[in-house]
Amino acid sequence: MLEVEQEQDTFILKISGRIDGSNAGEFQSKVQESIPLDAGSVILDMNDLIYISSAGLRVILLLAKNLKGRKGKLAMCSVAGPVKDVFTISGFSAIIPTYDNRASALSAIE
């Protein structure tokens, strides 16, 4: 569901599988545990995410608000297929910068 990597001062959350109502609470807990309070930049790598429901979108929205409140940056990368459609339809793509790959996201967010 979630792996965490760090490149310089940027935390990369690799999200995989499905995020829906049955596991959104666990996903939210893992996200909160994975990002230190002083984290400045976070990239959500969605290369291996196959499905996300409104419950998962809520977790991402909370993360975006949390980072914005402390002047942090959030970006997404490798969003494709049905997951990309969900982000486009929901308007998240207009709110959170989205990049084709991790390298592009890292260059833009630093």
Q: What pLDDT is stored for residue 110 in this prediction? A: 80
- Radius of gyration in angstroms for the set of CA atoms belonging to the chain, rounded to a whole number: 12
The Cα angle at residue 4 between residues 82 and 30, in degrees rounded to 5 = 80
Over residues 24-75, the pLDDT tens digits come to 999 999 999 999 888 889 999 999 999 999 999 999 999 999 999 989 999 9
Q: In what order do the strands lie in the sheet with 98-99?
A: 2-7, 10-19, 41-52, 73-77, 98-99
Structural domains in the chain (count): 1
Average pLDDT over residues 71-82: 96
- Containing structural domain, residue 35: 2-109
Q: What pLDDT is stored for residue 1 in this prediction? A: 92
- pLDDT grade, residue 86 (50/70/90)? very high
Q: What pLDDT is stored for residue 38 in this prediction? A: 85
Q: What is the CATH number of the domain that holds 39?
A: 3.30.750.24
What residues have CB less than 8 Å from 95, skipping those under 6 apart?
64
